[in-house]
Amino acid sequence: MIAVMPLMVIPFLLYNMTMAGLMGGGGIPALQHDIIVLSMISGAIWSMALGDLFIVVALVILFFEILKATRNGSGSLLNHMLSMLVFIAFLVEFLLVQDAATQVFFILMTIALIDVIGGFAVSIRSAGRDVSIGL
């Protein structure tokens, strides 16, 4: 049953935990805190903020969600429906919550939309190959 759970709920929860103050100072300024700072060979300083890390995590999760969409099973339809609910939660929060009106949250919401559309497209494509027509 855990395989049916959409993984895109993880970035959604991480973002909301950050806004609630459970990951540092809380609020929108917490997204700009540098998590990784590296000195490059060229002499440049490369840094990754918490918001950027959320986007990277969501992209990795999107990869695994697309892989999950290739499975044909009893839970795949439930997974697609739950993924749609996660996207709707992203959309409602983006429209109604002031702390969700950020570029990071918008990109996470877009990734959730791509998860929904990609999941349905991959499932339809792979289900079409499973149908054998006897002529």
Q: What does 86-104 look like in DSSP terms, one character per residue? A: HHHHHHHHHHH-GGG-SHH
- pLDDT recorded at residue 68: 85
Domain count for the chain: 1
- pLDDT recorded at residue 86: 96
**Crossing angle, helix 9-19 and helix 103-130, to 10 degrees?**
170
Q: What are the mean pLDDT values of the chain's consecutive 10-residue runs (135 residues total)?
A: 84 94 82 93 94 96 89 79 95 95 96 93 71 55
- pLDDT recorded at residue 130: 55
Q: Is residue 3 part of a domain?
A: no
Q: Is residue 132 part of a domain?
A: no
Compute the distance between CA of residue 68 and CA of residue 76 in angstroms, rounded to an integer: 8
Q: Is residue 88 part of a domain?
A: yes
- pLDDT recorded at residue 45: 95
Q: Is residue 105 part of a domain?
A: yes
Query: For residue 114, is it left (φ>0), alpha (ψ between -120 and 50) or beta?
Result: alpha
- pLDDT recorded at residue 27: 85
Q: Is residue 50 part of a domain?
A: yes
- Structural domain that includes position 118: 8-68+76-93+100-124
